[in-house]
Amino acid sequence: MDIDIVKKDTNFSEIEDNLFKGTAKLNFSSLKTYVAYLQQNYFITDKEKYQQVMNCLSMDSRKNVQSLALSLEKFIFKKESEIDRVKEMYSFDKSFGNYIYVAGVDEVGRGPLAGPIAAGAVVLNLRQKEDRELILGIKDSKKLSEKKREELSKIIKEKAVSYSIALINNNEIDERGIAWCNNEVLRRAVKGLKVAPDIVLSDGYAVKNLDIYNEFIIKGDMKSASIACASIIAKVYRDNLMKEYSKEFPYYGFDGNSGYGTTEHVQAIKKYGICKIHRKSFLKNII
């Protein structure tokens, strides 16, 4: 159901009264808008009302109205499943002990031929009183669409207790090596948090030289809410930065490949040479 069809000037109370009384045959468009309104206001609507609405819609003789009942039922099932999934991710973060502030940290951009490596660190409120406080949709940033990542990044930044993004540029990568920079950018992201965490959860491996207790989680961006959020804000930030670089260096397609070694990118390097954000240490087999 497309919740964008909800209009602010619609009298939803009148539609609801007529639906429950059964005294007026509402047109399909009004009912569709009302169902979209219920979906949009899922967390503030009495759950018993959904069942009442579905019963009324199901009893209508029109097939398209009956389909609205099925659509609403599927929406509720999907929403509740997502709430349960994300609750498990939050519970995972709380399972390490009775810590007040738990930070998740993750990096993006280890493998590209150009641009910086980036890391995000996020401290969430893990003690929500209501489901509406959860950040639904979070997962491994690579498994989300660009649009969804952008939406979630804004929500994460709004709801996080604290967040931080750190970068290490291509020159330092060439000078110090990607392994050192990979660890260092994670460390810098954690140290950039305005709220000092009691524990840091990292994705895949431990963060060295970090004076905070650290647990590393294999496939952490799929298990931990905090790590998933860190992954999302870091990727969105770096991808947008590479889009800005693409305006300055248009030959390489940075707005589409984020600096990774696509066929078109490699061909552009061979044709035009490198630019100031390329990692020379990554190009020994190309140039």
Side chain identity, residue 137: G
Task: Return the amino acid letter for 68.
Answer: L
CA 207 – CA 132 distance, rounded (Å): 33
DSSP 59: T
Residue 107 is assigned to a ligand binding site: yes
For residue 47, how many other CB atoms are within 10 A of its CB?
9
- 37 touches 12 (CB < 8 A): yes
Query: 12-21 vs 47-58: helix axis angle to the nearest 10?
Result: 60
* Residue 198 marked in a binding site: no
Question: CA nearest 199: which of 127, 103, 105?
Answer: 103
Query: Looking at residue 79, what DSSP letter applies?
Result: H
Q: Is 165 exposed, middle or buried (0-12, 13-18, 19+ CB in 10 A)?
A: buried
Per 3-state DSSP, what percentage of the chain is helix, strand, and coil (rounded to 5)? 55, 10, 30
106 is in an annotated binding site: yes
Alpha carbons 219 and 212: distance in angstroms, whole number: 21
- Annotated binding residues for a divalent metal cation: 106-107, 203
- Annotated binding residues: 106-107, 203
